[in-house]
Chain A
Amino acid sequence: MIDLVNIPVGAAGGYALLGYLVVFFGLVLLMCVLLIMGAINTGKQKRAIEKAMPVADKSAPVLTLENTMPKATGTAGELKLYNTDPRDAAMVMAIVADSLGKPINELRFISIREVTDDEV
């Protein structure tokens, strides 16, 4: 039986390695669970979109998961900037979030375009 209070160095090394493996094991298992959850959810979304597609209307644009998804997710996505400096865009997003009283990561910005005086 190892004395855990005055733990020998070799045993400490063993426990350290085991602990790191346990953390990996736990999180890898959790990752598998989340991947399954994600796959089920994506499948459901796909089926819902396919169900919503009008069968007769062949000329209508085809709805897929990809083209029904918004193209940007807040600060992480492909935000399109037209004649706008990234710093100004960041400020605009922060002001919008502040005005709406919502965290910025819950908002979705697709594009930001500078409106010139002629267009106003």
Chain B
Amino acid sequence: MDIMGILQKLASESGFAAFFLAEGGWKNLVMILIAFVLLYLGIVKKFEPLLLCGIAFGCLLSNLSYFIGMGDNALYHPELWAQFLDSTSPYYHSYGHIMANAGLLDFFYIGVKAGIYPSLIFLGVGAMTDFGPLLANPKSLLLGAAAQLGVFVAFFGAVLLGFTGPQAASIGIIGGADGPTAIFLTTKLAPELLGPIAIAAYSYMALIPLIQPPIMKLMTTDKMRKVKMVQSREVSKTEKIVFPIVVATFVILLLPSTAPLVGCLMLGNLFRECGVTDRLSDTAQNALMNIVTIFLATSVGATMTGDNFLQPQTLYIILLGLVAFSISTVGGLLGGLVMYKTSGGKINPLIGSAGVSAVPMAARVSQDVGRKYNKNNYLLMHAMGPNVAGVIGSAIAAGFLLSVFG
């Protein structure tokens, strides 16, 4: 028995050796440290923990098991996906080739690549969302539209920084403040940027309570912030049932590329409101949502390999993501200011910033800032209107970018 030979083989195959022997092994070490930081942010700082913990652990697993030239035991194989996307490769768009050689996280990633997970997340979001405030005040949709400004400004900024059109579109959608939409669009247009874009989208969504209030204070006066809005009208059950059917029909006919996201969002909402599918609504909101979140987060994290992530463009993406979020907030507030003026001071402009999707965090920020200036002001339900309008708005923005660059 060649004990020394076996030990030598084990040593040379170990990840510890690979850090120093494999090409770019040091990058894996750096990515592992980044995974630890993300785990810290998720667990200790509670930054979108449901997603960030999974993303961070996916990143950790990927960088522990994959080293360039030593991919036999890898959970995720970037080179397989590079061949999948290379139109000159014999394995172009070949799921069979992926499945024959895949690691566990490659299998998970198929759901991202096929656009299944983001759509299923939207199903759950639809089942959890009460569109009543939007129905009570349909003008909220204008704020949801205004708050997409950051998407297109960041897109333009990314082109100026040298990104390609599809990459710039994927970066811009970070400003929609909607993680599943960002992942959906990036997977279709620029899958090589999925890791940094997902991290930027979810991190900034968690940082909304820090990003938005200074901009809100800068753009509004004390008098505006104190405006108490009148109670919205009551919305009937029938309206709530008809709403998802109307929106799905209308928006998908207008922009067919939004069909997976808007279709699932509205199907989930129909389950919630129709009153005869409570079990399905419950599953979409809880069990299904949780299962899909696990698969989505770990597989997105797995794409964060050293070679892919440790690039100057990652820093640009993080920076442009912040710009996108901030400009979207500015856009929503500008919409709010216009409504404040046109309504004769009856609409509190603070609800405009909630147009940046990120349900319900952005609406809570409007509520908190409003209450700081008027203790008896309850803006939450008024802000929920633009907030859910932002979800539809970002899906339409993504649909537009997909139909132009897809």
Contact = CB atoms under 8 A, between A and B. Distances in A.
The answer on A and B forming one complex is: yes
Given A26-B251, A27-B145, A38-B239, A72 B231 contact: yes
A75 B378 contact: yes
Contact of B251 (A30, A37, A86): A30
B151 A19 contact: yes
A105 B393 contact: no
A76 B231 contact: yes
Contact of A76 (B138, B139, B151, B380): B380
A55 to B, nearest CB: 26
**How big is chain A's contact interface, by range?**
35 or more
Interface residues of B, number: 59
A76 B401 contact: no
Interface stretch (A7-15, A56-64, A112-120): A7-15
B142 A28 contact: yes
A7 B145 contact: no
Given A19-B155, A24-B145, A12 B381 contact: no
A4 B166 contact: yes
Nearest to B156: A16
Given A7-B159, A20-B148, A105 B254 contact: no
B392 A30 contact: yes
Contacts of A105: 130, 132, 380-381, 384
B404 A4 contact: yes
A31 B141 CA distance: 6
A22 B392 CA distance: 13
A4 B405 CA distance: 7
Interface string A65-84: 00001111111111100000
A71 B233 CA distance: 10
Secondary structure at the A interface, as helix, strand, loop or mixed, is helix
B255 A26 contact: yes
B396 interface: yes
Contacts of A111: none
Contacts of A52: none
Contacts of A12: 155-156, 159-160, 165, 168
Given A12-B159, A33-B250, A86-B376, A23 B396 contact: yes
Nearest to A104: B380
Contacts of A4: 165-166, 404-405
A35 to B, nearest CB: 5
Interface in B296-341: none
B130 A76 contact: no
A70 B166 contact: no
B354 to A, nearest CB: 13
A28 to B, nearest CB: 7
A34 B138 contact: yes
With most chain A CB atoms within 10 A of its CB, the pick from B136, B380, B400 is B400
A100 interface: no
A103 B229 CA distance: 22
Nearest to B164: A5
A51 to B, nearest CB: 16
**A5, A37, A69, A74: residue with the most chain B Cβ atoms closer than 10 Å:** A37
Interface of B: 130, 132-136, 138-139, 141-142, 144-146, 148-149, 151-153, 155-156, 159-160, 164-166, 168, 229, 231-234, 236, 238-239, 242-243, 246-247, 250-251, 254-255, 375-376, 378-382, 384, 389, 392-393, 396-397, 400-401, 404-405
Ranked nearest first, the 3 interchain pairs of A and B with the lowest CB-CB distance are A76-B381, A34-B138, A16-B152
Given A24-B142, A24-B146, A103-B130, 8 more contacts: A26-B145, A26-B251, A30-B251, A31-B138, A73-B234, A73-B381, A105-B132, A105-B380
